[in-house]
């Protein structure tokens, strides 16, 4: 079991729904990440937070809204998603100064109908 | 734009075979190359490579980096069915915040 947890593990939502994905890490890290993994595509970095500050937004549509209230928690708020947003959403964390291993959570499998 | 290309995309072998997975990259301000193993969902870390020509080993797995030719290989000897997974290669850029660019992955299937 890794030190990064994600909830829910599975989510089905309609295009008009609003939902949130949650990530929590207990590794003492200060950097957290959201990745999107679509079928047959490379893992895509979406957002990076260092010490609760967003340092990277990789041209992600505004229907995805991240929130990092503290170094241990990261949220991804979802609204008016499209079917093509269906994917596995992975959260990861790392130490920001020793930029090497990122530890991944189990992911949330999202299906948008 | 950073680019990572893995080959082959898919590989099926029998137990006991040796496999070599390839990863080539183009990245501005290269810092490191990482290999991950992904079974079912979350990737798990295997190796981080920063210097050319130094082989890293962990049991039956080994990896090496060539910074001149911009590629890395991951070798798995005496494969077992438990090695079946997607192997992801990622490159990290020298930047103020960690940023990984991943390849598509190689789907390895090891049959009994």
Mean pLDDT of A67-86: 94
What pLDDT does B2 receive?
A: 81
User: B67-93, pLDDT tens digit by residue?
Assistant: 999 999 999 999 999 999 999 999 887
Among partner residues B32, B34, B42, which is closest to A106 by beta-carbon distance?
B42
User: B29-58, pLDDT tens digit by residue?
Assistant: 888 899 999 887 678 889 989 899 989 999
User: A82-103, pLDDT tens digit by residue?
Assistant: 999 999 999 998 876 544 578 8
Q: Which of A64-73, A101-110, B19-28 has the lowest mean pLDDT?
A: A101-110
**Backbone phi and psi for residue B12, each to the nearest 5 degrees, phi listed first:** -120, 125
Buried (b) or exposed (e) across B1-27, using 16+ Cβ within 10 A? ebebebeeeebebeeeeebebebbbeb
Please indicate whether, in this complex, the C-beta atoms of B88 and A43 are within 8 angstroms of each other: yes
- Using a CB-CB cut-off of 8 Å, the residues of chain B touching A109 are 41
Q: Nearest CA of chain A to the CA of B69: how many Å?
A: 22
What pLDDT does A30 receive?
A: 86
Q: Name every residue whose Cβ is closer than 8 Å to that of residue B83 and which is 6 or more positions away in sequence.
A: B60, B76, B108, B110
- Using a CB-CB cut-off of 8 Å, the residues of chain B touching A103 are 45
Among partner residues A4, A45, A107, which is closest to B99 by beta-carbon distance?
A45
List A97's β-bridge partners, or say none. none
Q: A59 to each of A37, B41, B69, how far by Cα in Å?
A: 15, 24, 30
DSSP A47: E
pLDDT > 70 in chain A, percent: 94
- Using a CB-CB cut-off of 8 Å, the residues of chain B touching A96 are 97-98
């Amino acid at each position: 079991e890794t030190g990064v947890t994600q909830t829910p593990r599975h989510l089905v939502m309609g295009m008009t729904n609003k939902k949130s994905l949650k990530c929590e890490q207990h590794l003492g890290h200060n950097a957290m990440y959201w990745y999107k993994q679509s079928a047959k595509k490379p893992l895509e970095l979406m957002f990076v937070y260092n010490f609760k500050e967003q340092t990277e937004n990789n041209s992600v549509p505004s229907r995805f809204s991240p929130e990092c209230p503290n170094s241990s928690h990261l949220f991804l708020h979802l609204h008016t998603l499209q079917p093509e947003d269906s994917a596995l959403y992975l959260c990861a964390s790392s130490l920001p100064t020793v930029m090497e291993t990122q530890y991944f959570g189990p992911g949330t499998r999202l299906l948008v109908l | 734009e950073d680019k990572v290309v893995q080959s082959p995309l898919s590989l099926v072998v029998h137990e006991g075979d040796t496999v070599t997975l390839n990863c080539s990259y183009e990245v501005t301000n290269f810092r490191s190359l990482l290999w991950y193993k992904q079974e079912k969902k979350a990737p798990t870390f295997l190796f981080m490579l920063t210097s050319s020509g130094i082989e890293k080993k962990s049991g039956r797995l080994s990896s090496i980096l060539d910074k001149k030719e911009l590629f890395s290989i991951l070798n798995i000897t005496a494969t077992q069915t438990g090695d079946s997974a997607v192997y992801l290669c990622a490159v990290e850029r020298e930047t103020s915040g960690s940023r990984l660019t991943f390849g598509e992955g190689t789907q390895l299937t090891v049959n009994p």
